[in-house]
């Protein structure tokens, strides 16, 4: 299993990166992306610290670690510029905090994220068919979330992805020790969103594809033992 959306004390999580990685490993995850909440004010600090620290720790933790960011409540007109900056400054993957039903995310965030061709549009809420079609065209993954609140629109997201051919990923959006769900619970949440076993398998494969691309960009040298 992979979790490509987690948060440490660098934003609103409760765990330092080392403990987050250890708890993910103990829960059965082979790879985890740290994607702390960022905007224009803190993106440089967060990314610099993750990129410096994670490569040192990963070989001793037995889990692949990826330094990413989650652009969060960023005004839609600024998403493209900030995503480009993150790519140019070494972010392994870029997540955008989508238009979840649980928070007042600015309207237009989903579309701006897809147009910026980020890696994952997290918990995109009541994403429109046109946006899901564009996500399929741009190869932007839509997220099925195991997190309370953000999971409310999972069924809608799954239906839109299925109709439009957009890729899906399944993430915990982990913020604390109890957020890394078991394989069984993860399967149950995905099934509850209406995904078949084959669709769950495809989502897992897409997460693996993202992780493999990151590892390949590291000159073929994985960061875990």
pLDDT at 222 > cutoff 50: no
Q: How confident is the model at residue 219 (pLDDT cuts 50, 70, 90)?
A: low
How far apart (Å, rounded) are the C-alpha atoms in residues 179 and 23? Answer: 9
pLDDT digits over 69-92, tens only? 999 999 999 999 999 999 999 999
Q: Which two tokens stand for residue 197?
A: 């076993």
How far apart (Å, rounded) are the C-alpha atoms in residues 152 and 193? Answer: 9
How far apart (Å, rounded) are the C-alpha atoms in residues 28 and 175? Answer: 17
CB 5 within 8 A of CB 33: yes
pLDDT digits over 180-215, tens only? 999 999 999 999 999 999 999 999 999 999 999 999
CB 3 within 8 A of CB 185: no
Q: Please give the pLDDT value at position 218.
A: 73
Percent of the chain with pLDDT over 70: 97
pLDDT digits over 113-126, tens only? 999 999 999 999 99
Q: Which pTM value belongs to this model?
A: 0.95
pLDDT digits over 100-155, tens only? 999 999 999 999 999 999 999 999 999 999 999 999 999 999 999 999 999 999 99
CB 124 within 8 A of CB 143: yes
Domains present along the chain, CATH in parentheses: 2-217 (3.20.20.140)
């Amino acid at each position: 299993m992979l979790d490509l959306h987690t948060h440490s004390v660098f934003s609103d999580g409760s765990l330092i990166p080392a403990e987050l990685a250890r708890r993910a490993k103990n829960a059965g995850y082979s790879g985890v992306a740290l994607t702390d909440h960022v905007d224009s004010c803190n993106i440089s600090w967060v990314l610099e610290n993750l990129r410096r620290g994670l490569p040192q720790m990963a070989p001793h933790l037995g889990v692949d670690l990826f330094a990413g960011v989650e652009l969060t409540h960023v005004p839609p007109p600024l998403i493209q510029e900030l995503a480009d900056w993150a790519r140019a400054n070494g972010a392994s993957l870029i997540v955008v905090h989508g238009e979840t039903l649980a928070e007042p995310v600015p309207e237009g965030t989903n579309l701006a994220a897809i147009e910026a061709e980020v890696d994952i549009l997290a918990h995109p809420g009541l994403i429109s068919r046109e946006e899901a079609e564009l996500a399929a065209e741009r190869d932007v993954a839509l997220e099925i979330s195991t997190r309370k609140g953000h999971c409310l629109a999972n069924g809608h997201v799954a239906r839109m992805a299925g109709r439009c051919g957009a890729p899906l990923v399944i993430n915990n959006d982990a913020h604390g020790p109890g957020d890394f769900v078991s394989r069984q619970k993860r399967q149950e949440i995905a099934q509850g969103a209406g995904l078949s076993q084959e669709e769950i398998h495809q989502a897992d494969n897409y997460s693996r594809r993202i992780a493999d691309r990151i590892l390949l960009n590291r000159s073929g040298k994985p960061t875990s033992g």
